[in-house]
Chains A and B, each alone.
Chain A
Amino acid sequence: SAVISQKPSRDICQRGTSLTIQCQVDSQVTMMFWYRQQPGQSLTLIATANQGSEATYESGFVIDKFPISRPNLTFSTLTVSNMSPEDSSIYLCSVGGSGSSWTQYFGPGTRLLVL
């Protein structure tokens, strides 16, 4: 299994500001995913980030609001831009789910509170 770390683990931000969340994996992976989990809710996929290509965003999520970088096979960042209180959520990085192994692993999450 992959070991995934995220930074920061939590943050409190003011509305209108931006926060960049980092995801580091201990091995090279093809596919990385970013999810949002609103309080008490299930997981919603924001986008899929493959190295060397533009991220693919799900319906309801746009690049201007959630720009993603994927500079190499072990690292990705998600930025939450121009934040509002509605962006208060847990943001989760996930890897795997491709090739012959469909297993997907999740990081510990970043807990974001926007005031």
Chain B
Amino acid sequence: GENVEQHPSTLSVQEGDSAVIKCTYSDSASNYFPWYKQELGKGPQLIIDIRSNVGEKKDQRIAVTLNKTAKHFSLHITETQPEDSAVYFCAAKVGNEKLTFGTGTRLTIIP
């Protein structure tokens, strides 16, 4: 089955700087890659997703890039703000099959 690795497990960046979180997946058939943000005491919130027919997707300060050849995808957050502090999870799946999650990255924005 699918295996998703996520790095780093923790990340601290100065407010205003950029943050990058990387994930690799094992199943070359995977074609959907969402990213979730989980704040303390809340459920995971979808922040951006990408399908395998697209190499990059942006939504304001957030972007996701996908390299199908290398089987990795990354989350980029620019101009970080204190409210970006949370745990971020990547995930991957093949079509309508189940999501496989990464292990999570705890992002801390230092004011």
Nearest-neighbor residue (CB-CB) of B44 within chain A = A106
User: How many residues on chain B are close to A (CB under 8 Å)?
Assistant: 21
Write the B88-111 contact mask toward A (1 if CB under 8 angstroms, else 0).
Answer: 010001011011011110000000
Contacting pair B96 A102 (CB below 8 A): yes
Contacting pair A103 B46 (CB below 8 A): yes
Instruction: Given A42-B102, A42-B103, check contact A103 B42 (CB 8 Å).
Output: no
In the assembled complex, the Cα of A99 lies from the Cα of B102 at a distance in Å of 24
Instruction: Given A43-B44, A92-B44, A108-B42, check contact A103 B49 (CB 8 Å).
Output: yes
Interface of chain A residues 89 through 115 with chain B (CB within 8 A): 92, 97-99, 102-109, 111
Counting CB contacts under 8 A, is A48 at the interface?
yes
Nearest-neighbor residue (CB-CB) of B102 within chain A = A42
Write the B33-47 contact mask toward A (1 if CB under 8 angstroms, else 0).
Answer: 010100001111110
Residues of A in contact with B (beta carbons under 8 Å apart): 1, 4, 33, 41-43, 45, 48, 58, 92, 97-99, 102-109, 111
